[in-house]
Amino acid sequence: MVSILPQTLYEDSAMQKLFADGLSCGVYKKLSEPVIGKEGYLSAHAITMVLQGKLRIEDADGHLQEIQPGKMVLVQKGLYTVSDILPRSGCFEALMFFFEAELIQDFLESVGFDGAKGKSMPLTVLEVSEETRFFADSNLRLYGGQTPPNRRLAKMKLFELLHLIYAGVKEKDPFAALLASLGNKERKSLKEFMLANCHKPLAIEDYAYLTGRSVSTFTRDFKARFDGVSPKQWLIEQRLEKARDLLQTNVTQSVTEAAWESGYANVPHFIKNFHKRYGITPKQLLIEHRMKRMV
């Protein structure tokens, strides 16, 4: 199942929320077991600073970066495959900072950047300076306990982090252009992408972004390529068909697992749509096929 980040991080026992305001947040990640090839969707741009172990991250186009301790990676929002690798002794540790687009725009305005956007770079590795490491350590020490700061501090802290990184780079305009480019997304073959990713638990807005389109353009282009069917109708049909196939062929699977594998993060919503489409609940269909196997 695809993890939606940073939202699902808040529910993960291996994560510790330092500060958060909507999608703008700072999270401390500590793992005692490696995570290999986990697929995630970043709903906000992010900077991940590796403290121990190493991080391998690959975007949807196959671009791969490996980040060692003392490095950080600036990641454009989108689909990624992530592997957290532990050192031979110890654990994996990282700090993850998520930025909403408005915050980045405010920062660019604050430094007076009005130049051209740079080329879209889904993954960019940066050095951790002494100042940014001090920022990370102090925030972990201050807000890693039981009393997180007021949510209004979140954006101030993230703004400070961008300022420290910006102050530490030699060529400031290229870095600002890189930040500005985070809003870019190259267009992809819509039909090919949708057929490959329709069973991921993503919203219409996410698919529009990932194919390099506005929601209105995505909807228009989608209807042109799928015989006038709306994206919402098509996704419902694709996901329900997959769920029905799973329930009919794998009787040991639970309804929740079938929902997740077919692209539904909301199980009650899945059950409602399934009953409306097929006139039977997923549980009833599962029981029916279990009984047939026993005959």
Domains of the chain, by residue range, sit at: 3-183, 190-294
CATH number 2.60.120.280 is the correct assignment for the domain at 3-183? yes
Ramachandran sector of residue 75 (left: φ over 0; alpha: ψ -120 to 50; beta: rest): beta
Average pLDDT, the chain: 92
Confidence class of residue 88 from pLDDT cuts 50, 70 and 90? Answer: confident
Amino acid making up residue 248? Q
Architecture of domain 190-294: Orthogonal Bundle (1.10)
Model pLDDT for residues 270-282, shown as the tens digit of each residue: 999 999 999 999 9
* β pairing state of 78-85 and 35-42: antiparallel
Section 59-69 average pLDDT? 92
Measured CA distances, 175 to 108, 162, 171, 181, 242 (Å)? 10, 10, 7, 10, 44
Model pLDDT for residues 145-200, shown as the tens digit of each residue: 777 667 889 999 999 999 999 999 999 999 999 999 998 888 889 999 999 999 99
Model pLDDT for residues 19-44, shown as the tens digit of each residue: 999 999 999 999 999 999 999 999 99
Provide the edge-to-edge strand list for the sheet that holds 35-42: 3-5, 35-42, 78-85, 54-59, 64-67
Phi, psi of 203 (to 5 degrees): -90, 165
How far apart, in whole angstroms, are the C-alpha atoms of residue 132 and residue 81? 26
Give the pLDDT of residue 295: 59
Question: 165 burial class (0-12, 13-18, 19+ CB within 10 angstroms)?
Answer: buried
How far apart, in whole angstroms, are the C-alpha atoms of residue 124 and residue 76? 9
Does residue 126 carry a pLDDT above 80? yes
How far apart, in whole angstroms, are the C-alpha atoms of residue 72 and residue 123? 10
